[in-house]
Structure 1
Amino acid sequence: MNPMDHRLHLDRTLDELDPPRWAPPAADSTRLIRKVHELRRVPLRALVPADLRTLVSQQVALPYVLPLAVRLLIEEPLLDAYFYEGDLLLATVNAPAAAWTLLPELGVRLRDVIEALPETAIADLPRGATDEIACFAARIESLR
């Protein structure tokens, strides 16, 4: 992809990149549903880590959102996006296997970053995180 295409891509929204555009949420929608609808109208470059965690957790437009999340995680694997240290990482490794089949190289890069973390860093994550990370690594290995 040439640099100009990349810049144009980041200036676009999920509503533009992941059709069809979503209709406005119902008046009685939860705060989370309203937030996800709102985030689909934000240019990709303006999404902050908490936004990415929300979108990944809700499995929204993963082919566009996962690369952004992984880019951040490569730089700071245990980034505290909103709730706790490592929350973006755990949301990302819990993305469905089908999303990673579309992005196998990205999954390998994330797995390599995770494997480079000290065991104590993984141990400090919430209960069950070690198993979630192990499942992710196994899924990525099965794609090879």
Structure 2
Amino acid sequence: MDYERSLEEIERDRWPAPPQDATRLVATAHALRRRPIGELAVEDMRLLIGQDIGLPCLLPLALEVLRGDPMA
């Protein structure tokens, strides 16, 4: 997996910008999809996984983190 690519790049699916009145959750999810997956913090992955976003890419990465720190 190329950790320098974002979910948008990996999935080849660019979402349109969120509406002006979008909730904080929606705006954050949109922004995190543009960030390289190698730069995602544990909390970022938790948010995206909890929203069912990018699971094929993020679940292996999350498992790798949990192997190193089960309390993450």
Partners of 1:39 and 1:18 lie apart in 2 by: 14
Residue 53 of structure 2 corresponds to 60
- Structure with higher RCO (Cα < 8 A, 6+ apart): 2
Partner deviation per Cα, 1:74-130 (whole Å, 9 max, x = no partner)? 111121xxxxxxxxxxxxxxxxxxxxxxxxxxxxxxxxxxxxxxxxxxxxxxxxxxx
What percent of counterpart residues are identical?
Answer: 39
Unaligned runs of at least 5 residues, structure 2: none
TM-score (norm 1): 0.48
Aligned counterpart, 1:13 = 6
Letter aligned with residue 22 of structure 2:
S
Which of 25, 30, 52 in structure 2 is aligned with 1:37?
A: 30
Aligned length: 72
Unaligned runs of 5+ in 1: 1-5, 80-144
Moved over 4 A (4+): none
Root-mean-square deviation (Å):
0.9
Structure possessing the higher radius of gyration over alpha carbons: 1
2: CA distance, partners of 1:13 / 1:78: 25
TM-score, length of structure 2 as denominator length: 0.94
- For residue 10 of structure 1, give the secondary structure of its aligned residue in structure 2: coil
Match of 1:51 among 15, 28, 44: 44
